[in-house]
């Protein structure tokens, strides 16, 4: 018995020693002149505190304002909780306006702002969803007042909608379009509105990304997640699959969407697929269909939630707000940094990783 | 003739106890049966590390266990197995291996016997909120589940075959923001052992506690090492200790 206890103690000692010797998280620093484009990823920010300024949005704005000319801020959906933007005669319209305005104001002058729609923006997957998304697009344009801040894809279209800045080719998708149970097109829709057409267009955009360019695809729904929508967290976790909620990874409709997107990614796996939806921060191995999957859905303090560290995870932060920053260097190199904030708002970069080694 | 009968009776009265003392008792045989199956011969494992629900995974496993038999003799065992992890959560697996018999009990065989098993661990809930605060690590993950195991060990002593079924309630906590992840695990449970198509003592029930420490994702994303121990709440069974190594095939 004593010998066995000694063995156990030795094993524990080895574990502790290994921990001490193991790699620590080093936050990498860059010289500002090396950076060509900085992409900020923040999701599910549609529930800002009505009493206080959001320290996440404040911090994001400060970082983007250091070099606004090269900053692109992407809001990864669920920009207005709980039901998107209603018609302007609705009692909830002023509050929807407040929620959106707080985010538009986080885009400093000179920076580009992109709003991707999420399921809550589609009237929480409701029948008025398509029109709610269009109302939000108009509201954003009103706040932007001529600045480069817009909804992408626009007009309730599924995308893909792409733009290029330096080495970056950014491709935006409206993934709720795939999962919505109500009207997703009407006479005003002037875009691809079939699954086959959308998938083919995405495939073509990814295939034609020139060597040396960095392809980043973004949509609201994750391709992989260790959060609530991935069937983790809470006693309902493993049983959520029985519910058939299309917002969850385990549902068949969600799987159909992911299969279609992955079939498009296969031709030339993009560097990253970025999403929100789950209210935490996750960096995951995305192989074989994308190099990295990230979830950055921790834009609202009131929503911050659980996440599980999975075998595919590089980094997980739960119950904290935060955002991600992707610095694309001029010639070679892409650095991802994660900033998370404790309840008291203590800021800090908590993780960084070279997605493309310089 | 009468004297022959008397002599025979006398011989039986004097010799039978001697013969009996050279045989294992029922209790010893029952203990040997309990210790012969993979449920007790091999070290316990934690619930599997959660993985993405996007895929199913195959896991290869090698285990080495050690414990002392009722006579104090060593009973090392080794086994290999394959597990199937469904959608990154629950697993079902098969195991095959060998165990050295307890040679110290009179009348029992030496050498080794094979052992086979089937085990399922059902992941009921995986989260981390409570333990993230307790461990000051907001990447901490805890998992609660249930496990069922069936073990079979042919010819564990003479021509006797052992079977056992066990049930446990495993709980594990993993922490550390980066690889390797540290895991502590505990699984209280119960095990029933019985004869499988052979004679032997009646079936028995024993409470148990499995526990251990593990390092997940050592060196690479797929490789895990477990140091497991088992305490059976039954006399002369001691502690079981052992190491397990597993490798997950990732897509």
pLDDT, residue B70, reads 87
Going from the C-alpha of A322 to that of each of A41, A120, A348, the distances in angstroms are 9, 20, 9
Q: Which residues of B touch A250 (CB under 8 A)?
A: 53, 87
**Mean of the pLDDT values across residues B109-129?**
91
| Strand pairing class (B239-249; B57-66) | antiparallel
pLDDT in tens, A170-179: 999 999 999 9
The SS3 of residue A278 is coil
Task: Work out the average pLDDT over B70-85.
Answer: 94
Across the interface, do B54 and A22 touch by the CB < 8 Å criterion?
A: no
Confidence band of B8 (pLDDT split at 50, 70, 90): low
Q: Provide the shortest C-alpha distance from residue B1 to chain A (in Å).
A: 59
CA distance B196 to B146: 25
A296 by Cβ neighbours in 10 Å (0-12 / 13-18 / 19+) ranks as: buried
Q: How far apart are the first and last CA of chain B?
A: 84
- Subunit contact B50:A232, Cβ cutoff 8 A: yes
Contacts of A234 in chain B (CB under 8 A): 125, 127
Cα distance between residue B178 and residue A317, in whole Å:
12
Q: Report pLDDT digits (tens) over A236-284.
A: 766 777 777 899 998 989 999 999 999 999 999 999 999 999 999 999 9
Give the minimum alpha-carbon distance from A350 to chain B in angstroms, rounded to a whole number: 10
pLDDT at A32: 87
Q: Do A310 and B177 touch (CB under 8 A)?
A: no
Taking an 8 Å cut-off on Cβ atoms, the answer to whether B239 and A310 are in contact is no
- Contact in structure between B16 and B99 (CB atoms under 8 Å): no
Average pLDDT over residues A130-147: 95
pLDDT of residue B20: 41
List CB contacts (< 8 A) between A285 and chain B.
221
pLDDT value, residue B14? 45
- Which pLDDT score, from 0 to 100, does residue B13 have? 42
B139 with A309: Cβ contact below 8 A: yes
DSSP per residue, A263-277: HHHTTS--SEEEE-S
Mean pLDDT over residues B10-21, rounded? 44
Helix intervals (H) in chain B: 2-21, 26-36, 38-41, 129-134
Provide the sign of the torsion angle of the four alpha carbons B175, B178, B182, B188, taken in this order. positive
Burial class (CB in 10 A: 0-12, 13-18, 19+), B27: middle
- Residue range A205-216: mean pLDDT, rounded: 94
CA separation, residue A178 to residues A4, A26, A53, A73, A133 (Å)? 57, 39, 34, 24, 14
A-B contacts (CB, under 8 Å): 121
Q: What residues in A contact B215, CB-CB < 8 Å?
A: 15, 18
pLDDT surpassing 70 at residue B17: no
| Test mutation, A224, A232, A247, chain B, max B CBs within 10 A | A232
Calculate the average pLDDT of chain B. 88
Judged by CB atoms closer than 8 Å, whether chains meet at B138 and A287 is answered as no
Answer whether B63's CB lies under 8 Å from B243's CB. Answer: yes
Contact B128 A238 (CB under 8 A): no
Select from A309, A321, A349 the residue whose CB has the most chain B CBs within 10 Å, as the one to mutate to test that interface.
Answer: A309
Provide the shortest C-alpha distance from residue A99 to chain B (in Å).
28
pLDDT of residue A27: 61
Instruction: Say yes or no for a CB contact (<8 Å) between A249 and B53.
Output: yes
pTM, two decimals, is 0.89
Nearest Cα to A170, choosing from A338, A337, A37, A30? A37
pLDDT for position A112: 97
pLDDT band at residue B86 under the 50/70/90 scheme: very high
**Cα–Cα distance measured from residue A284 to residue A274, given in angstroms and rounded to the nearest whole number:** 10
Query: Distance between CA A214 and CA A230 in Å, rounded?
Result: 27
Contacting residues of A for B227, CB less than 8 Å apart: 8, 11
| Interacting residues of B155 by C-beta distance below 8 A, sequence separation 6+ | B113, B114, B161
Q: How far is B177 from chain A (nearest CA, A)?
A: 7
pLDDT 10s digits, B31-49: 999 999 999 999 999 999 9
User: Beta strand A349-356 with A334-341: parallel, antiparallel or unpaired?
Assistant: antiparallel
In this prediction the ipTM stands at 0.86
Task: Please check whether residue A223 is in contact with residue A275, taking contact to mean a CB–CB distance below 8 angstroms.
Answer: yes
Shortest distance between the Cα of B78 and any Cα of chain A, in A, equals 18
Whether residues B238 and A1 touch (CB distance < 8 A) is answered with: yes
Which chain A residues are closer than 8 Å to B174 by Cβ?
309
| CB neighbourhood size of A98 (10 A) | 12
**Residue B23: its pLDDT value, please?**
74
Q: Which residue of B has its CA nearest to A256?
A: B54
Residue A327, beta-bridge partner list: A38, A335
Q: Report H helices in chain A.
A: 2-21, 55-65, 93-104, 129-144, 176-179, 195-207, 240-243, 252-265
- CB within 8 Å: B213 and A320: no
Q: Do the Cβ atoms of A230 and B241 come within 8 Å?
A: no
């Amino acid at each position: 018995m004593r010998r066995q206890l000694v063995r156990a103690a030795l094993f524990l000692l080895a574990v502790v020693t290994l921990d001490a010797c193991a790699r620590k998280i080093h936050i990498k620093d860059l010289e500002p002149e090396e950076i060509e484009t900085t992409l900020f990823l923040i999701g599910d920010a549609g529930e800002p505190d009505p009493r206080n300024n959001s320290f996440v949005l404040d911090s994001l704005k400060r970082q983007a304002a250091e070099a606004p000319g090269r900053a692109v801020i992407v809001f990864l959906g669920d920009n207005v909780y709980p039901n998107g933007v209603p018609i302007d005669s609705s009692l909830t319209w002023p509050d929807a306006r407040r929620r959106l305005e707080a985010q538009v104001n986080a885009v400093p002058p000179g920076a580009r702002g992109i709003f991707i729609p999420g399921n809550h923006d589609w009237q929480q997957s409701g029948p008025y969803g398509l029109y709610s998304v269009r109302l939000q697009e108009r509201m954003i344009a009103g706040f932007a007042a001529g600045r480069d801040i817009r909804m992408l894809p626009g007009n309730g279209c599924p995308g893909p909608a792409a733009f290029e800045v330096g080495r970056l080719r950014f491709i935006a998708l409206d993934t709720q379009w795939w999962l919505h149970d109500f009207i997703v097109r009407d006479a005003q829709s002037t875009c691809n509105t079939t699954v086959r057409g959308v998938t083919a267009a995405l495939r073509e955009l990814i295939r034609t990304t020139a060597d040396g360019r960095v392809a980043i695809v973004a949509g609201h729904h994750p391709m992989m997640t260790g959060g609530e929508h991935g069937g983790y967290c809470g006693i309902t976790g493993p049983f959520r699959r029985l519910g058939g909620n299309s917002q969850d990874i385990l549902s068949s409709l969600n799987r159909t969407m992911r299969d279609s997107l992955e079939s498009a990614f296969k031709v030339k796996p993009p560097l990253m697929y970025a999403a929100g939806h789950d209210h935490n921060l996750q960096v995951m191995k995305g192989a074989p269909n994308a190099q990295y999957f990230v979830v950055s859905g921790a834009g609202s303090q009131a929503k911050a939630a659980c996440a599980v560290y999975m075998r595919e995870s590089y980094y997980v932060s739960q119950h904290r707000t935060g955002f991600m920053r992707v610095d694309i260097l001029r010639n070679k190199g892409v650095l991802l940094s994660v900033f998370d904030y404790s309840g008291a708002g203590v800021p800090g970069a908590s993780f960084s990783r070279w997605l493309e080694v310089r | 003739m009468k004297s022959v009968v008397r002599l025979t009776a006398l011989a039986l009265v004097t010799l039978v106890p001697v013969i009996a003392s050279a045989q294992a008792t029922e209790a010893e045989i029952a203990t040997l049966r309990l210790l012969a199956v993979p449920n007790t011969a091999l070290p316990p494992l934690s619930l599997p590390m959660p993985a993405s629900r996007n895929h199913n995974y195959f896991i290869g496993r090698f285990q080495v266990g050690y414990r002392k038999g009722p006579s104090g003799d060593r009973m090392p065992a080794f086994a290999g197995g394959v597990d199937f992890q469904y959608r990154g959560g629950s697993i079902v697996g098969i195991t095959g291996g060998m165990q050295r018999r307890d040679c110290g009990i009179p009348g029992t065989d030496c050498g080794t016997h094979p052992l086979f098993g089937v085990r399922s661990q059902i992941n009921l809930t995986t989260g981390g909120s409570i333990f993230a605060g307790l461990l000051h690590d907001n990447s901490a993950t805890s998992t609660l589940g249930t496990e069922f195991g069936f073990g079979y060990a042919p010819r564990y002593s003479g021509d006797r075959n052992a079977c056992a079924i066990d049930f446990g309630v495993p709980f594990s906590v993993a922490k550390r923001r980066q690889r390797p992840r540290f895991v502590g695990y505990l699984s209280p449970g119960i095990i029933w052992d019985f004869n499988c198509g052979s004679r032997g003592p009646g079936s028995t029930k024993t409470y148990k506690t499995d526990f251990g420490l593990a390092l997940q994702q050592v060196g690479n994303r797929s490789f895990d090492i477990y140091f497991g121990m088992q305490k059976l709440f039954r006399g002369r069974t001691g502690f079981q200790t052992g190491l397990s190594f597993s490798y997950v095939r990732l897509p």
